[in-house]
Amino acid sequence: MRLHFLGIGGTLMGSLAQLAKQQGHQVTGSDQGVYPPMSDLLAAAGIKVHEGFSPEQLSPRPDLVVIGNAGLPRGTAAVEHILNSGLPYVSGAEWLGANVLQGRWVLAVSGTHGKTTTASMLAWILERAGLHPGYLIGGAPKNFEQSARLGSAPYFVAEADEYDCSYFDRRSKFVHYRPRTLIINNLEYDHADIFEDLAAIKAQFRLLLRTVPGQGLIVAPSDDEHVNDLLLKDCWTPVARFGAEAPKQRAPTDSGDLWTAQHRSCDSETFDVCLNGVTVGRVAWPLLGAHNVSNALAAVAAARHVGVPPETAVAALSDFAGVKRRLEVIAEIGRTTLYDDFAHHPTAIRATLQGLRNKVGNEEIVAIIEPRTHTMSLGALRRELATCCAPVDQAVWFRGANIQWDLDGLVAECVTPARQFSDVEQLIDWVKALPERRRHLVIMSNGRFDDIFEKLPAALQGR
C-alpha cells in the first residue's frame, strides 16, 4: 500500500511511519518543521518528508492517509483535500492498533512522566532476554538504532500516550492499544489544551483500565493518590506495586507484590532491586535521579510478567544507555558541561534537576528553560514552574513565540534567582559573559529552541 503520514515529525507519527516501512508499504509524510532526532531516524529509514501540508503532496493518490493530532485541525489544506477527495484516512493510534498490535501481547507504558524512558528500558530488557520484541517509543532510545520496529516475537512494547488521537477522534491514543501488561507510572494534570482538569484525564485512564484482561497485569506506584483512586474503582486486573512501601489503601485486585529499591547511592547511579524485601540484583548505570529508579522498578516488574527473570532484567538495566534528549550531555567545553533535556512538565523538570544536583554537589547549575509544551505555554502550571527550579543556582526562562503569557511574574516568583529572554542571541551573549568556573548548563525544551543546542556550544568554543 501507499501510505502518507500527516504530521510525520511527531514522536508517534514518525515511529508509525518507520513501522509501516518495515511492513513493506510505500511511505511518505509531511509536517511543519521536522527536527532531530526524528528527522534523522526518518532519513535513515529512507522515508521522504515534505515540508508543510499542501494537497499537492498527496499526489500520486495514497491508498490511506494516517493523520496525526498536532497542528492538523479542520481548515488545514491537506485535511480539507482528503475530505473533499474521499481519500481513506485514519488516526495514527487506530492504525497502530489495527495493523501492528492486533494479536500481539502488548506491554503498554502510560502515565504523565517517564513513558519514553520506561518503555525504552522495558524493550531493552526483553531484547537482552532474547525475545526480540517489537516496540514503539516516543523518542530515540540509545540502545536501539530505531525508535520503532516490528520485532519477531509476540511481544510489543508501546509508549501509551493520553493525548487525543486526532481532530476526529478525541479519545486518548492508548484506548486503541488493548494491553495485556500495563504500566501506569504516575498521574498529574497535563495537556491543558485538550483536558479541562485532572478528572478529564482520569476518565480516559478508566477507559484504558477497562481494556486490560483479568489475566493481565497492571504495574503501578504505591504512593500516587490519583493512580490509587483509579485502581480502587475501575480495576479488574491484578496489580503489582513499586515504591518505598505498600500502598496505604489496597486496590481489590492488589497482588501483594511490591518492588523496592534499596541501598541507593545519593545520585541513584547504583541501587538494589528487591521483590517483597528479597534482593534480586544490583543496577549500576549512568542515569541520574530517583525518578529513573522508579522507572526501572516498573520495567522489571512488567518484564517478569512475560517470563523474564528479574535477575536478567536487572543485568540488562546495567547496560541501559538511556534516551536522547533526557539530560543528555551534548558538549563539554572547558569547565562547562552542556545538557539537552526534553522538559515537558514542571514535575519532570524538578526531578531531572534534582538528580543532577545530587550528582554534582555544590557545582553551579544553570537551567535554561523554554516552557514550550501546550500546558506550559498556556500558563496552566505557573505556580509549579516557579518552584521546579529549586535545585539550581540560576534559572533562565525563554519566551518563545508560542508562549501566551507574560513571564515577568514567573521571574519574580521563582524560588531561585531568575531572568528571562525572548531572543536566543541575547541569551547566548549573557551565557558567554558568565564568569569562568565549573558549571552545568541544562537546556530544557521539547522543541528546537531556535537551534540553541548548536549555537550555544559554538559560541562557547569561540569565547
Angle at 446 between CA 441 and CA 449, to 5 degrees: 65
**Closest of 297, 290, 292, 329 to residue 313, by C-alpha:** 297
Over residues 393-404, the mean pLDDT reads 86
SS3 state at 60 = coil
299, containing H or E segment? helix 290-305
Indicate the SS3 state at residue 358: helix
- pLDDT band at 117, cuts 50/70/90? very high
Q: What is the pLDDT of residue 378?
A: 67
Torsion of CA 448, 449, 455, 460, to 10 degrees: -130
> Looking at residues 166-171, what average pLDDT do you find?
93
Cα separation, 380 vs 108, whole angstroms: 28
Helix (H, G, I), strand (E, B) or coil at 31: strand
Instruction: Specify the pairing of strand 2-6 against strand 64-67.
Output: parallel
What is Dmax (Cα atoms) for the chain? 62
Average pLDDT, rounded, for the chain: 92
Dig out the grid coordinates for 72 from the structure: 492538523
The model's confidence at residue 405, banded by pLDDT at 50, 70 and 90, is confident
List, in order, residues 6 or more apart from 83 with CB less than 8 Å away: none
Residues 85 and 94: their CA atoms lie apart, in Å, by 21
What's the sign of the alpha-carbon dihedral 188, 191, 197, 201?
Answer: negative
d(CA 147, CA 97): 17
| Residue 46: how many other CB atoms lie within 10 Å | 9
Length of the chain: 463
Architecture of domain 101-317: 3-Layer(aba) Sandwich (3.40)
- Would you kindly state where each structural domain of the chain is located, as residue ranges? 2-92, 101-317, 328-461
Mean local confidence (pLDDT), 84-95: 96
Quick check: 67 pLDDT over 70? yes
The residues, ordered by sequence, that sit 6+ positions from 4 with a Cβ below 8 Å of its Cβ are 27, 28, 29, 30, 57, 58, 62, 64, 65, 66
Could you check whether 2-92 and 101-317 share the same CATH topology?
Answer: no
| Distance, CA of 90 to chain centre | 23
**pLDDT confidence of residue 400:** 81
Written out in words, the top-level CATH class of the domain with range 2-92 is alpha beta
Q: Three cell numbers at 293?
A: 529508579
Q: Which residue has the higher pLDDT, 446 or 61?
A: 61
* Residue found by looking up cell 498521574 in the block: 187
Chain CA centroid to CA 304, Å:
23
Q: How far apart are CA 1 and CA 126, in angstroms?
A: 31
Q: Which CATH number applies to 328-461: 3.30.70.20, 3.55.40.20, 3.90.480.20, 3.90.190.20?
A: 3.90.190.20
Distance CA 156, CA 122 (A): 10
Do residues 4 and 65 touch, judged by C-beta distance below 8 A? yes
The pLDDT of residue 281 is: 97
Span 310-321, pLDDT tens digits:
999 999 999 999
Q: Give, in degrees to the nearest 5, the angle at Cα 242 between 389 and 249.
A: 100
Query: What per-residue confidence (pLDDT) applies to 399?
Result: 87
Alpha-carbon distance of 59 to 450, in angstroms, equals: 32
Compute the average pLDDT of residues 94-105: 96
**CA triple 40-46-95, angle to 5 deg:** 90
Question: Which residues on neighbouring strands pair with residue 134, listed in sequence order?
Answer: 156
Question: Per-residue confidence at 449, pLDDT binned at 50, 70, 90?
Answer: confident
pLDDT (tens digit per residue) in 236-270: 999 999 998 888 888 899 999 999 999 999 888 99
Query: φ, ψ for residue 259 (rounded to 5)?
Result: -100, 130
